[in-house]
Structure 1
Amino acid sequence: MVVTPAITLALVGVVARAYVAPSPTDPRPADAELARRSDISRRQNTETYP
C-alpha cells in the first residue's frame, strides 16, 4: 500500500475528530484554560509595561 500525503492527512483528521468528539457536554475546557492563561499573561504584560 502506498501512503500518500492525502491518505496521511485523512487518517490524521479521523483520529483528531475521534479525540475531540467524546466530550459534547463539556463547554470547551481547553478554550477556557487558554482564555485563563491569556488573561493571566495579559495581566502580567500590563503590570510590566503600563
Structure 2
Amino acid sequence: MKSRYQYRIYPTPGQQTELAKLFGCCRVVWNDALALIKRVDISSVLWWRWSL
C-alpha cells in the first residue's frame, strides 16, 4: 500500500533567499546535463553501453 504525505513549509526571508539560490543551481545543472545528453551521438552511447 502506498501512502503520501503533504508538507507545508514557511521559510524565513533568509531561508527563502538560500532556497532560491539552491533551486537556481539545481536548474542550471539539470539544463546542462540535458543539453549534454541531447548533444551526444546515440551510436556512441549504444556502443559504450554494450561494451561493458
TM-score (norm 1): 0.44
> Scaled by the length of structure 2, what TM-score is found?
0.42
